[in-house]
Homo-oligomer: A and B are copies of this chain.
Amino acid sequence: MLVVMKREATAEQIAHVIAAVAAQGLTPHPLPGATRTAIGMTGNTQAVEQSLFELLPGVAEAIRVTKPYKLTGREMQPHDTVVTMKQGIVGPKTFTLIAGPCSVESEATMHETAEHLLSRGIRFLRAGAFKPRTSPYAFQGMGLKGLKILANVKKATGIGIVTELMDVEHAEALEEMTDIIQIGARNMQNFSLLKRVGKCRKPVLLKRGLSATLEEWLMAAEYIMAGGNYDVILCERGVRTFSDHSRNTLDLSVIPPAKALCHLPIFVDPSHGTGKRAYVPAMSLAALGAGADGLMIEAHPDPDHAASDGAQTMDFTALDKLLETLRIMAPLLGRTL
């Protein structure tokens, strides 16, 4: 159920509706819009009586929402979500880049990378301190020591930090120091973890699972939003198909329907999507064309000696060249880079 307030509804009337929702044992989600506020509600396992809310003062209408996703859907919030951070906003009319190495490496490398990115106007640095690796014998990331390096780099340069959370145990530490918490593809349906980041006060970048349908992806975002964290950024990173021409099949075709159904920003990770640095520029331009709100790209000063994922990591020269083209193209599609 979605209760849409009249344009002229007062703050008091809105608070009254919120209390009425809670009185039904449901969780109210106030969704302020450009011209009016709507109040979503979740937690209803059975039908809620519409008339309970339509008669309250200031209410324009109460609408039944039938899709399994509620908070992520356009029905409940027609306008695009804008995620606001100290480093700037993510959302419509923008095109945001997140770049950096696969894993956190030495403090010197991370500083060098952050400074290069900032010099090019890129405001977010990605690097994993905890790495989900297929093999228990592969490098598992620097862990807390890696987090400490990221914190130092952030303090020194002001760059926004995007790093992956793999378990509930480290949620507090990551929430403290990152600007965007990343949930990896393999954890897209780790529901305990989703519930936990729903309680965090930092935006969450939610990668699409390797074989997740659009609905499952939106439902994973719904878990986070249902917990009270509305700043979710979706990120397509390639799905699993029969194809063997690349590491994964980057599914840009999901962007238009996702945009039609859901108001959250969508990023694309062409590095994991292709697995090969030579293919990253073409797929980056394609992502912009398809309607993505940003990119997450693996870049490193010396990719051939990166600690992990070197084959799909660009060097700074290649990144600069891509940036140049994106800066020309993005404005033509109504986006500021």
Interface window among A10-18, A30-38, A76-84, A327-335:
A327-335
Return A114 CB to nearest CB of chain B, in Å: 28
Return A228 CB to nearest CB of chain B, in Å: 12
A213 touching B187, Cβ below 8 Å: no
Q: Once bound together, how far apart are the Cα atoms of A133 and B220, in whole Å? A: 10
Q: Once bound together, how far apart are the Cα atoms of A135 and B133, in whole Å? A: 27
Give chain A interface residues in 275-329, CB to chain B under 8 Å: 276, 278-279, 282-291, 325, 328-329
Copies of the polypeptide in the assembly: 4
- A251 sits at the interface (CB 8 A): yes
Give chain A interface residues in 194-225, CB to chain B under 8 Å: 194-195, 210-211, 213-216, 219, 222-223
A166 touching B187, Cβ below 8 Å: no
Q: Once bound together, how far apart are the Cα atoms of A216 and B226, in whole Å? A: 32
B285 touching A257, Cβ below 8 Å: no
From the candidates B244, B253, B258, B282, name the one contacting A250 in the complex (CB within 8 A): B253
Q: B residues within 8 A CB of A169?
A: 168, 192
Of the four ranges (under 10, 10 to 19, 20 to 34, 35 or more), the interface on chain A belongs to 35 or more
From the candidates B227, B238, B243, name the one contacting A214 in the complex (CB within 8 A): B243
Closest to A216 in B: B134
Interface window among A41-49, A51-59, A104-112, A144-152:
A41-49
- A190 sits at the interface (CB 8 A): yes
- A136 sits at the interface (CB 8 A): yes
Closest to A69 in B: B135
Q: Once bound together, how far apart are the Cα atoms of A253 and B194, in whole Å? A: 29
Q: B residues within 8 A CB of A329?
A: 289, 329, 332
In the complex, given contacts A133-B191, A251-B253, what are 9 additional A-B residue pairs having Cβ atoms less than 8 angstroms apart?
A134-B219, A136-B195, A190-B193, A239-B241, A239-B242, A240-B242, A255-B282, A256-B274, A285-B290
